[in-house]
Amino acid sequence: MELIYEGKAKRVYRLNNERLVMEFKDEVTAFDGLRKEVAIGKGRLAAAQTAFFMSYLEGNGVRTHFIDWDGDRRITVRALRMVPIEVIVRNYAYGSFLKRMPMVKPLTRFSKPLVEFHLKSDELHDPLLTMDDITEAGLLTREELQEIINTSLRVNDLLTNLLSTRGLILVDFKLEFGFDGSGRLLLADEMSGDTMRILRNGKHLDKELFRKGASAMDLVKAYAELNALLGVKS
């Protein structure tokens, strides 16, 4: 298979014209790659989480790029024309929200979920975008943006409810979208502890642990704990 992309957490290979393989690395990075460690077992746990969440969403009527998981570090997905935007949904104040809005206390629950857009750009540190920025740049139409907002809020409802049945709080998460050959919008990329903040009794079961200084091994243990709580096969 031809390697077509290598990022900090994943490699992407082309299987054929319609399908790609995403391989999750046994590595964890933070602070734009400044902190990087080997994390044996993380790739399989994150692949399993992505497979679990995307299958759950598909079962509830959300179209995703997910096709199947090999039981290890790889998933097969549909090849899409990716939208170069990160969509973030926030239920509680945390992370970059607190940096730009320091008058709000950490973990304050919002009156409604917030949806925001960031340009995918490591050099520019993923700047926040307005809806006008996106439409004027020709990245998406108003209608497509609205569809992305609706889908993101639906994903938030489904995941918040699912996690709450296991005593887990969904603080925030990041989504990415792409268009298939027929011009339909599909949920893409990954859904794992690397892209969500999930709390259990105040403890992070996500990458925030590593950002806060925990070891890669403790992070892998937290991902395994999350999978056990969710009943994710891994």
Given the rule CB under 6 A, which residues bind ligand 5GP? Answer: 86, 88, 94-97, 126, 172-174, 194-197, 207
Nearest residue to ligand 5GP, using CB? Answer: 95
Smallest distance, ligand 5GP to C-beta of residue 163, A: 13
To ligand 5GP, the closest distance from the beta carbon of 67 in angstroms equals 21
- Provide, rounded to whole angstroms, the least separation between the CB of residue 175 and ligand 5GP: 9
Look at phi and psi of residue 225 and say left if phi exceeds 0, alpha if psi is from -120 to 50, else beta: alpha
Angle CA 62–65–68, to nearest 5: 105
Distance CA 3, CA 13 (A): 4
Q: Residue 118 CB, nearest distance to ligand 5GP (Å)?
A: 7
- Identify which of residues 120 and 184 has a Cβ nearer to ligand 5GP in the complex: 120
Alpha-carbon dihedral angle through residues 30, 14, 26, 159, given to the nearest 10 degrees: 70
Nearer to ligand 5GP, 23 or 172 (CB): 172
Looking at beta carbons only, is 15 or 162 nearer to ligand 5GP? 162
Nearer to ligand 5GP, 2 or 105 (CB): 105
- State the virtual CA torsion across 160, 162, 164, 165 in degrees, nearest 10: 170
Please enumerate in sequence order all residues whose Cβ is within 8 A of that of 227, keeping only pairs 6 or more positions apart, or say none: 45, 48, 49, 52, 234
